[in-house]
Each structure stands twice: as structure tokens, then as C-alpha cells.
Amino acid sequence: MASKTKKQIGKVANWILTFVLMLVIGLPGLWVVLTAFRPNREILAKPAIWIPEKLSLDNFGKIFGYGVDQIAIPVPSYFANSLIISLTSTAIALLIGMSGGYAFARFRFKRKNGYFLALMLSRTVPGIALSLPIFMVWSRLGLIDTKMGMIIIYVALNIPFTIWLIDGFFRQIPKEMSEAAQVDGCTRWQAFWKIEFPLAKSGVASAGIFAFLTSWNEYALASQLTRSTDSKTLPVGLMDFTAQFTIDWAGMSAMAVIIIVPALILTFLVQKHLIAGLTFGGVKG
């Protein structure tokens, strides 16, 4: 009886500790969201006003050019740039990642393990460490301050992880299923598309969401390689709210919420596949 009581107390303590830790982790994000809906007088008040007195959409209207108080920051252009760059780089990375992951999982070729190891090691290099050489090469190629330049970089950043994750999924699928389909008259492509791909779609969805979030949230390289509204992304555009002596906390927080929302929506839409991807594809045979 005493042992059972101790277990229950330990379980409750674990729940309480988890709740407190999650509260600490989530509190800054919650504060940003609340700040996005509050007027400047509340944000700058001393002592701080913890419970908002009034919530409104005025800050969002202001950054998008609506209402009386408008700001000269092209947020819609930044949003469009982020969307184009993130979606395009994610689609290309998934296409290459599926091809590479399938090849590593299904085919035997010379120095296969060495190529795979080299590909994984290339992802261990911090992106910011590559900013100077990339800047020099991109300036020679005329890719500075272009969407294409950012797309190429994000594709290169996402390919190693995408190949690794999708490779793990295809290794979980028995080869005999594809071979049986080919015996029944399917071509190799038909066997892949009708048999193997549906079983691996959770891994593809997981790789896609991670690739999208990497491109959507990346700041270090984008801040070095973008200059104008033609290519600036939302994370880089956040710095436009800072001046020499002041910071527009309300506008910055509203834009931060705009950055967060699409990622949350995408994660919610594919959460079933994402959870399956993290649990099923993590063990490689």
C-alpha cells in the first residue's frame, strides 16, 4: 500500500514538474502573442501590466497598412518572399530527398556508406560559418538579394536531413512488397508509387515540415544575403522595427505572430503524419 502511494505521489510530482517546465518554456511565447494585441502604453508601462486591459487587432492593421497609424514597412512583400522561398525550397528538397533516400535504402553501389556519412557530416557545419564563403560566391554569380539565391541555400541545408529521414522510412518497408508488385506486372515506378510511397508518406510529411520550418524561420544567412524588399524574409524584416533609440515592440510582436501562425497551421494539418514520422521512422534497419 505504501509503495502504491509513493508511486502515485511520484506520478503527481512528475506531472507538476512537467507543467512548471512547460509554463517556463511557453511563457515568452505567450508574452509575445499578448504583446501583439496590446497598445504601446500597456507594453511600455512601468511597472509591467501582466494582465492585458484591452486586446485589439490595431497592431496587425498598422503593419499591413490599414488604419490611421501606419508604418512604412512592406510586411506583405516580406510574407510573400518567405512563402515563395520556403515552399519552393521545401518542394525541391523533398523531391531530391525522396530520390536520395530511396536510392540509399534500396540500391547497392560503391562507397555507399562513405557517401552517406559525408552527406550527414555536411549538415554538422553551422550555417553561419558558411555565410562569408557563400556571400563571396553568390556575389560573383549575381545571386545576392535574390529569391533564387536563398532557395538554393535552403535546399542545400535541408537535403541531408531529408535524405536521412526518408531513408530510414524506406528501410522499414520490406523489399518483398515491391518485388511482389513487380511480379504481378507493376513497373518499378508503379511499385514505388502505389506500394512504397503510401507506406512512407508519414516520413515524407515529417521531412517536409522540418524543411519548411528551417526555411521559414532561418535568420542568420538571410540577414547576410538579402538587402531589399525583393528578397527579404519575415525574420529579417523584424529588424526593420528597430531604430537608433526606439523599438516598435507592438509591431515587432505582431509580425512575430504572423511568422508563428503559418508554422502552427502546417504542423496541425500534418500532425498525424508528423507523430508517425517521429515514432516509426526513427529506427533504421
Rg for the chain (alpha carbons), in Å?
24
Burial of 22 (C-beta count, 10 Å sphere; 0-12/13-18/19+): exposed
Window from 82-86, 243-247, 273-277 with minimum mean pLDDT: 273-277
Per-residue pLDDT band for 244 (boundaries 50, 70, 90) equals: low
User: In the prediction, which pLDDT does 180 show?
Assistant: 83
pLDDT at 275 > cutoff 70: no
User: In the prediction, which pLDDT does 91 show?
Assistant: 95
Mean pLDDT calculated for residue range 221-238: 90
Cis before 174 (ω within 30): no
Report which of residues 104 and 281 the model is more confident about. Answer: 104
User: In the prediction, which pLDDT does 280 show?
Assistant: 52
User: What secondary structure letter does DSSP report for 127?
Assistant: G
Per-residue pLDDT band for 7 (boundaries 50, 70, 90) equals: confident
Count CB-CB contacts under 10 A for residue 135.
15
Residue 162 · residue 101 · CB < 8 Å:
yes
pLDDT digits (tens, 9 = 90+) for 19-78: 889 888 888 888 888 888 888 888 888 887 777 777 888 888 888 877 666 677 888 899
Mean pLDDT calculated for residue range 218-239: 90
- The residue among 87, 76, 74 whose CA lies nearest residue 147 is 87
For the chain, the structural domain boundaries read 2-60, 75-280
d(CA 230, CA 135): 17
User: In the prediction, which pLDDT does 83 show?
Assistant: 93
What are φ and ψ of residue 226, in 5° steps?
Answer: -120, 145
Count CB-CB contacts under 10 A for residue 76.
12
pLDDT at 238 > cutoff 70: yes
Which residues neighbour 156 within 8 Å (Cβ) at sequence distance 6 or greater? none
Angle between helices 75-106 and 112-122 (to 10 degrees): 160
Entry pTM: 0.82
Which residues neighbour 65 within 8 Å (Cβ) at sequence distance 6 or greater? 76
Task: Decide: helix, strand or coil at residue 54.
Answer: coil
Q: Look-up: residue for cell 518554456?
A: 25
Cis before 76 (ω within 30): no
Mean pLDDT across the chain: 84
Per-residue pLDDT band for 282 (boundaries 50, 70, 90) equals: very low
User: In the prediction, which pLDDT does 284 show?
Assistant: 45
Q: Look-up: residue for cell 508511486?
A: 7
pLDDT digits (tens, 9 = 90+) for 166-197: 888 888 888 888 788 888 788 878 888 888 88
Provide the CATH number for the domain formed by 75-280 in this structure: 1.10.3720.10
Count CB-CB contacts under 10 A for residue 122.
12
Residue 164 · residue 105 · CB < 8 Å:
no
Mean pLDDT calculated for residue range 240-267: 84
Per-residue pLDDT band for 285 (boundaries 50, 70, 90) equals: very low
Report which of residues 252 and 4 the model is more confident about. Answer: 252
pLDDT at 281 > cutoff 50: no
pLDDT digits (tens, 9 = 90+) for 200-215: 887 888 888 889 999 9
Q: Look-up: residue for cell 496587425?
A: 60
Residue 259 · residue 234 · CB < 8 Å:
yes
d(CA 157, CA 89): 10
pLDDT at 239 > cutoff 60: yes
